[in-house]
Amino acid sequence: MRKINFSAGPSTLPESVLKQAQNELFDYQGKGFSIMEISHRTKIFEEVHFNAMKNAKTLYGLNDDYEVLFLQGGASLQFAMVPMNLSEGGVCEYAHTGVWTKKAIKEAQILGINVKVVASSEDSEFSYIPEVNFSENADYTYICSNNTIYGTQFQSYPQSKAPLIVDASSDFFSRKIDFSDIAMFYGGVQKNAGISGLSCVFVRKDLLERSAKKNIPSMLKYAVHSENNSLFNTPPTFAIYMFGLEMQWLLDNGGLDAINERNKAKARLIYECIDSSNGFYKGHSEKECRSLMNISFKIASTDLEPIFVQEAEKADMLGLKGHRLLGGIRASLYNAITLKQCESLAEFMREFARKYG
């Protein structure tokens, strides 16, 4: 029996996607080999690769102003590739909303980039999304869409005349996005859209021109990956195949508006449970910044937290221990978590509060 997996990532996959991968694992579409065992230069793999790219763009409704890149090194490598490829000797502006922006800022600083932190919520343990005002003449501006650890999420993105870069690792493909100011939108796909090993980057073509002028190693250069259709070297073929299955699953299930509605309904169940617990549970994020993806909360009496995690495991619910930096409990409700699974968690939380409250 499969358990309910609320892990923050890598995380649960849609059952139908797993089953299709299982069916095709030994013999891919009657070809006599698996997709993992063939060259990335074959027509069979290229079809998987380009189809996944096309469907990813379709889901976000992107036109040919944007290109999709498949890269490795996790979202973390993008923390360095962004400044390497896109800085132009001026100021690069960051909104600081948690651990993942801290790491991105650090990588830019290591590279000697002139980083300006224009907004921060560090004063209150990143429990809110600060107001962000970017200046017009920055080389680029940078935000993290959803803060996986603290459970906050930009409800809409700040305006930016300079090219806006968005780390969307933990709310990738979970809602429609207005791309008008966005020059680059990226994430590791292992939370909401596949398995680890693949980063998907949507990049506007004018940024590729910036990258092309840079004297940096080939593997770290967006322009090189773009010129080679993300087949410059051997890509993570199985991760791309899984990403393709996820794109198809999203399309078959109504696309990003439909998944967003489901995600809202799922998160509402858990937040209602927190809000109606008379202080037994306390959400970390301020209400207006709440994430639909990661719900971080504490239990008034902290010694109950390990008991909560233990009892949840006994009830076949996994991955609920909070991140070590924040502590408490965290439920990650990514795309593949179902409404029914959230109902089970809400019921468990109510029962736990009755028992120990």
Ligand X SMILES: Cc1ncc(COP(=O)(O)O)c(C=O)c1O
Just list the catalytic residues. 100, 167, 191
Place of tokens 């699953």: 249
CA distance 35 to 151: 36
In this chain, which of 153, 170, 211, 237 binds ligand X, going by CB under 6 A?
170
The correct pick among 5, 148, 285, 291 for binding ligand X (CB under 6 A) is 148
Q: Which stretch binds ligand X (CB under 6 A): 33-41, 167-175, 208-216, 325-333?
A: 167-175
Among residues 103 and 350, whose Cβ is nearest to ligand X?
Answer: 103
152 binds ligand X (CB under 6 A): no
Indicate which single residue of 20, 24, 40, 74 sits in contact with ligand X (rule: CB under 6 A): 74
Beta strand 146-147 with 152-153: parallel, antiparallel or unpaired? antiparallel
**Which value, in Å, is the radius of gyration of the alpha carbons in the chain?**
21
- In the set 5, 9, 80, 298, which binds ligand X (CB under 6 A)? 9
* CA atoms within 13 A of residue 49's CA, in its CB half-sphere: 22
Task: Read off the tokens for 285.
Answer: 């994020």
Pair of tokens at residue 271: 């937040």
Helices and strands (DSSP H and E) totals, the chain: 10, 14
Task: Name the residue with the smallest CB distance to ligand X.
Answer: 74
Per-residue string for binding with ligand X, 81-100, x by CB under 6 A? -------------------x
Q: Is 167 in the site for ligand X (CB under 6 A)?
A: yes
Cβ(226)–Cβ(208) under 8 Å?
yes
How far apart are the C-alpha atoms of 20 and 28, rounded to whole Å?
10
Sheet holding 182-188, edge to edge: 66-71, 199-204, 182-188, 164-167, 140-144, 91-96, 114-120
Query: What is the C-alpha separation between 274 and 91, in angstroms, rounded?
Result: 42
With tokens 């996005």, the residue in question is 177
Give 100 or 142: the residue with its C-beta nearer to ligand X: 100
Q: Binding of ligand X at residue 144 (CB under 6 A)?
A: yes
* From candidates 69, 75, 108, 349, binder to ligand X by CB under 6 A: 75
Nearest approach, Cβ of 188 to ligand X (angstroms)?
Answer: 3
Piece of the chain touching ligand X by CB under 6 A; list 72-80, 154-162, 203-211, 249-257? 72-80
Report d(CA 12, CA 335) in Å as an integer. Answer: 9
Residue (101 or 277) nearer to ligand X, CB: 101
Candidates 76, 114, 229, 344: give the one binding ligand X (CB under 6 A).
Answer: 76
Quickly count: other Cβ atoms within 10 Å of residue 170's Cβ: 29
- Closest separation between CB of residue 148 and ligand X, Å? 3
Binding-site ranges for ligand X (CB under 6 A): 9, 74-76, 100, 144, 148, 167, 169-170, 188
